[in-house]
Structures are given as structure tokens and as C-alpha cells.
Structure 1
Amino acid sequence: MGKQTRPTRPTRKQKEEMKAWKLVPENWLVVQDTPSEMILVSKGGLKKRVIRRGA
């Protein structure tokens, strides 16, 4: 397992990627960002979403 990190605000590039997936960037925080996937959690803390890259 990887190191658990604190959710952070998305960068501009991450926001553009979220918009491409039809997500509203203002409602999501980034938990983990790797070259293969980006793990997001909603600001309400109820939903978790994984965006896969290059698949």
C-alpha cells in the first residue's frame, strides 16, 4: 500500500482533466495523482472517484 496523504486542491492541469471527465473541479479534492490514475474524493467526503489515464 502507498502512503496515505491529505486531500489537496487540484492544480489547473488536474482541473482540466476533471472537466474532460464531466466533473465539477470545485467539488473534488485530489488524494493521489500518479501517471496511471488520479484518485479524487468529494468535498463532502461521501464519494470517491478514480480517473484512469492512458487506458
Structure 2
Amino acid sequence: MAVRDSKVGDGPAVVFSVAGWASFIAALKERPFHPKSVNTPTLTVQTSLI
């Protein structure tokens, strides 16, 4: 699973194994991240399989 900044479509990508990505998604479902409760900019992630 490759993840890159959607504003820089041809920029570098961080690559996760399928198991690693599944673990990340499972953790989000268990304890969702609420960016508005933290004083940080909102992050948008687009993913694609490579």
C-alpha cells in the first residue's frame, strides 16, 4: 500500500505492507482519530494500490 501527499501527486510515497495497513485501519476503527480535538492541521490521505 503506497500513501502519498495528494497535493504532490508525483512526490514520494510511504509504502506499507498489506498486513501493516490492515493493522493501521483496525486501530483507527478501534479508536478513531478526531483531528478537531487536537490543535493540528487536518490531514487528508488518499491511497492507491501499486
TM-score w.r.t. length of structure 1: 0.23
Which structure would you say has the larger RCO, counting Cα contacts within 8 Å and 6 or more residues apart? 2
Name the one with the larger helix percent. Answer: 2
Name the one with the larger strand percent. Answer: 1
TM-score w.r.t. length of structure 2: 0.24
